[in-house]
Amino acid sequence: MQIFACPACGEQVWFHNLTCSCGAALSFDVAHQEMVTADAPCRHRDTLGCNWTSLHHHGACLSCGMTRTHPDLEVPENRAHWSETEAAKRWVLDGLVRWGWFVPPDDGARPVFDMLAERTSAQELPVMMGHADGQITINVNEADPALRAQRQAELGEAYRTMTGHMRHELAHFLFWRLSQDNVFLDAFRALFGDDRQDYAVALSAYYDKPPAPDPAHITRYAQAHPHEDWAETVAHLLHLTDLTDSAAAAGFVTGGDAYRQGDTDVLLNRAVELAISMNHINRALGQPDVYPFVVTGLVREKLRFAHRWLRRVES
Ligand SMILES: [Zn+2]
Ligand SMILES: [Zn+2]
Ligand SMILES: [Zn+2]
């Protein structure tokens, strides 16, 4: 993520800022990747703290416009969780916009989000996060750190964040878009395996007996099914690209726009070097590793494939 400049005073401001310390009200113009004054705010600015500009007069922004269902707001905490979930969605969408998705000339389908809460006024009801035919379901209560930590321990995951959920589910959506091209599908199956194998059977086999970590998969869960391997691979490509882009914006490294880097190995080498350095810094403060994964040669091959298909912009 880049660091932006206030249009009124020029001071640095951050992606989620609604105002600058000079008092100016800020809006983020995603198409131009810049902060502007808040003349055309998203209609969820006051209710959800969305700082993007609206696409149409008094309308929603690009991101809020993708949300079809909101959680039960009778439960007071759900609004805060929804707002945090939307913030993670905007962050992740911004990276995809920089690769040419969801803004002109991309006229393909946009994802449709159902933002549900497992805690409703009527009952507690499990929400399965997932993607089906262009529609993404998110459990907004995962914005609650206690709930997330509990699930993370139960499932033995090294990482569990709302940003990670967004990247993973949007990756399934992007597969759905790309799979209309047989050239993509054939190459995908050669590298990730046949995605036509029974998904429900594969998932239940995974949860019955989770396999040991394996060097061909970025996470254990990636072994569950080729679809999950793709989603985990793409999520990590997005993590590593954003890590590099944010580190450059913060002045830790030089080397141009990470989203315009067409050479996957150059991008990954820089990202891995940064991750190792940042893990070291975190250990000094008693914090967990910022990136607790090993990018093996086999995983790199999949990352290269995903990078080639997801970058719609020229270098
Ligand atoms: Zn300012
Ligand atoms: Zn919005
Ligand atoms: Zn998945």
Q: Residue 313 has what pLDDT?
A: 66
Residue 243 lies in a domain: yes
Residue 17 lies in a domain: yes
Q: Residue 187 has what pLDDT?
A: 97
Residue 83 lies in a domain: yes
46 CA distance to ligand 2 middle (Å): 10
**pTM (two decimals):** 0.96
Nearest to 248 by CA among 3, 31, 5: 3
Contact 294, 213 (CB under 8 A): no
Q: Residue 314 has what pLDDT?
A: 59
201 and 250 belong to one structural domain: yes
294 CA distance to ligand 3 middle (Å): 20
Q: Which residues of the chain have pLDDT under 50?
A: 315
Q: Which ligand is nearest to the CA of 219?
A: 3
Q: Residue 56 has what pLDDT?
A: 82
Q: Residue 218 has what pLDDT?
A: 96
153 and 221 belong to one structural domain: no
Q: Residue 254 has what pLDDT?
A: 82
Q: Residue 157 has what pLDDT?
A: 83
Q: Residue 41 has what pLDDT?
A: 95
Q: Which ligand is nearest to the CA of 90?
A: 2
Residue 174 lies in a domain: no
Domain range enclosing 72: 62-96+104-166
Indicate the number of domains in the chain.
3
Q: Which ligand is nearest to the CA of 167?
A: 3
44 and 15 belong to one structural domain: yes
227 CA distance to ligand 3 middle (Å): 7
Q: Residue 156 has what pLDDT?
A: 81
Q: Give, to the nearest 10 degrees, the angle between helix 226-249 and helix 182-192.
A: 100
Q: Residue 315 has what pLDDT?
A: 46
